[in-house]
Amino acid sequence: MNKQYLLTIDQSTSGTKAFVINLSGTIVARSNAEHKQFYPFPGWVEHDPMEIYHHVIETSRNVLRKAGIQPCELAAVTITNQRETAVMWDRTTGKPIGSAIVWQCQRTAAACESLKKAGYADIVQDKTGLLLDPYFSASKWGWMLENIEDAAKMLEAGTLLAGTMDSWLIWKLSGGAVHATDVTNASRTSLFNIHKLRWDGELCKIFGIPPEILPEVKFSDDRFGFTNISELFEEQVPITGIIGDSQAALFGQLCFEPGMAKATYGTGTSVLMNVGEKPVPAANGLVLAIAWGMGGKVTYALEAVIRTSGDSIKWVRDNLGLFATFEEMDNLLAQVHDNEGVYLVPAFVGLGAPYWEPNVRASIMGMNRGSGRPHIIRAALESIAYQVYDAVQLMQEESGIPLAGLRADGGASDNGLLMQFQADMIGSSVTKSDVAELSAMGSAYMGGLGIGFWSGIDQIAGQHRSRRYYEPSMVEAERKRNYEGWVRAVAAVLHGSKEA
C-alpha cells in the first residue's frame, strides 16, 4: 500500500485533536485546539458546532504539516468523538440551528422525569440498554425541536438533520454528501434498538423525533464515504473508523475478550467491560452498550457512566484557584499522606452510576480547622477512584464476569498517585499504556482494519507497546476506612437533595 498514514480526528468534550498514525501504530504527529464551554444557565452545557468544525480543519491542517506529509499519502480519515452531544443543522445552509447540547447538560431532566412517570422507562431500557435520562441524545433533540425558532419550518421543508458530533463532522467533511453514524454512537441516543440494530419507531414517537432526520447507521469499520473539502484535501480520502470515544478506548486498549475492562479518565469517566457478542441484562445504574460493530457483527459491553471526574481537578484549579500548574498540584499532594477525612462528592451535574441522580449537587465535607489546599485537592483526585471502584464492583455483581484487570487511559491516568490509589481501591492491577490517546488509537485501529491498512487484530496486538503496571499495596483496613468515608459522604449528598 502506497498510502502509509491515517489521519485520526479525536473530537472530545474539551477540545479537538488530530493525529497522523503510521503502519506501526505510532503517532507521528499531533495537533490540538480547545473549544469554548458555554453554561448559559445552571446545569446547562453547550458547544458551538461551527467552532468545533473549524478546529477539525485547523488541527488536521496543522498535523499534516507537522508530519511532513501530503493528503495524497493518507489511506483514510477516522473519527472518534464525544458521545450523546446533540446537534441539529440545516442541510441547505450547512449551518447548525443552534448550539450543540452537550452530554453533561441537564436541561431535559424534567422532560425525562415526565416520560418516566408516563411509564416509558422500561421500554427505553429494554430496547436500548440505556436509562431514561437527560444524559442521552433523544431528549436533547426533542428540546431543540420545541424551543429553537424555525426548527419546525425546516422540518416541514425537509431540510432539518439531526446527529451526534460524528454525524455532524462526517456531513461537513463529505461536503454534505453523507448523513451517517455508526452503531456505537447511535446506541447512545435512546432511539436505537441495540438488539435489532436499527432506529426504533416506537422510541422515536416517545421522544418526538421524526426518524427521517436521523442519520443512516453503519458498522464502525464500514467505509462511510469520502472527504469532499478542497480547503483541506486535494483529493477524496475515505472516511471510516467511526466510533464513540469510550468504545474506541476499549478497542484501543485491546480489550477483545469478555471480562477485560477499561476506564477512560477524561472530563467524565466511562468504565466499560467487554461482555461478548450476546447482550447481558443491565441494572442498578449500569447501561448496556454496543462496544463496536466490526465485520458485520456487534460486540456488547456493560458501561458505567461517571459524569464528573477529571473535571473535578479542573474545577479545583480554575474555580477555587487552589493550584496553577500540575507540578504545583503534585507538590501540594506530597504534603499529605491521606485525605484526613475530607471528601469531595463531585455531583456538579448530578451523579451517574450506580446512583443516577441528575438533580443532586456537589459537596465538600469532613473538613476541620487543619484542612487546607492539599486535602481538598486530594479529595478531588480520590473522588475519581472511588467512583470507578463503585462502577467496577457493580459490573462484576451484575454480569457474573470477574474483572480481568483494569486498563487506564485519558488525561488523568498520567497521575501516578491516582493510578496507585485506583489499584488499591479495586484490589486489582491497573495497567497504564504509554499511549495516552487510546480513543484515537481505537478509531485508527478500527478504520485501518476496515480498509486493510492492517491485516487483522493479531497484527495490532503484536505491535510493541510499553505499559506501566500498578499493583494494590494498601492494607485492607485502610482501604475499608477510606471507602466507608466515601459511602457516608455520598449518602449525605443524596439525603440532602431529598430534604431540599
Domain boundaries, the chain: 5-245, 254-433+466-500
CATH class of 5-245: alpha beta
What pLDDT, on the 0 to 100 scale, is given for residue 284? 78
pLDDT score at 119: 97
Give the three cell numbers for residue 34: 480547545
The DSSP 8-state label assigned to residue 473 in this structure reads: -
Residue 249's DSSP bridge partners are none
- pLDDT for the residue 233: 87
Query: What tens digit of pLDDT does each residue of 152-210 get?
Result: 999 999 999 999 999 999 999 999 999 999 999 999 999 999 999 999 999 999 999 99
pLDDT at 422 over 60: yes
pLDDT band of residue 385 (cuts 50, 70, 90) is very high
**Confidence band for 266, pLDDT divided at 50, 70 and 90:** confident
Is residue 136 within 8 Å of 189, Cβ to Cβ?
yes
Mean per-residue pLDDT for 117-135? 94
Q: What is the mean pLDDT of residues 242-268?
A: 91
411: DSSP letter: G
Cell of 296: 458485520
Write down the mean pLDDT value for the chain: 93
Grid cell locating 67: 508530519
pLDDT, tens only, 74-94:
999 999 999 999 999 999 999
pLDDT tier at 411 (50, 70, 90 boundaries)? confident
Dmax over Cα atoms in the chain, in whole Å?
66
Residues 371 and 412 sit within 8 Å (Cβ to Cβ): no
Residue 219 has pLDDT above 70, yes or no: yes
What pLDDT, on the 0 to 100 scale, is given for residue 500?
A: 53
Would you place residue 114 in the very low, low, confident or very high pLDDT band (cuts 50, 70, 90)? very high
Work out the average pLDDT over 473-489: 95
The answer on pLDDT for 498 being more than 80 is no
Residue 267, pLDDT > 70, answer yes
Burial class (CB in 10 A: 0-12, 13-18, 19+), 172: buried
Strand extents, DSSP E, 68-193: 74-81, 86-90, 95-96, 100-101, 160-164, 180-182, 192-193
- The C-alpha atoms of residue 464 and residue 37 are separated, in whole angstroms, by 37
- Round to whole Å and give the CA distance between 101 and 93: 20
pLDDT reported for residue 46: 96
pLDDT digits (tens, 9 = 90+) for 306-340: 888 889 999 999 999 999 999 999 999 999 999 99
Q: Could you read off the pLDDT of 226-243 as tens digits, one per residue? A: 999 888 888 899 999 999
pLDDT at 356 over 80: no
Residue identified by cell 499519502 is 73
pTM score, whole prediction:
0.83
Q: What is the CATH number of domain 254-433+466-500?
A: 3.30.420.40
Q: Examine the pLDDT at 438 and tell me if it is beyond 70.
A: yes
Closest CA to 342 of 308, 370, 309: 370
Q: In CATH terms, are 5-245 and 254-433+466-500 the same topology?
A: yes
Q: Which of 262, 242, 194 lies closest to 408 in space, CA to CA?
A: 262
| 24-28, 281-285, 437-441: least confidently modelled range | 281-285
Segment holding 388, helix H or strand E: helix 373-399
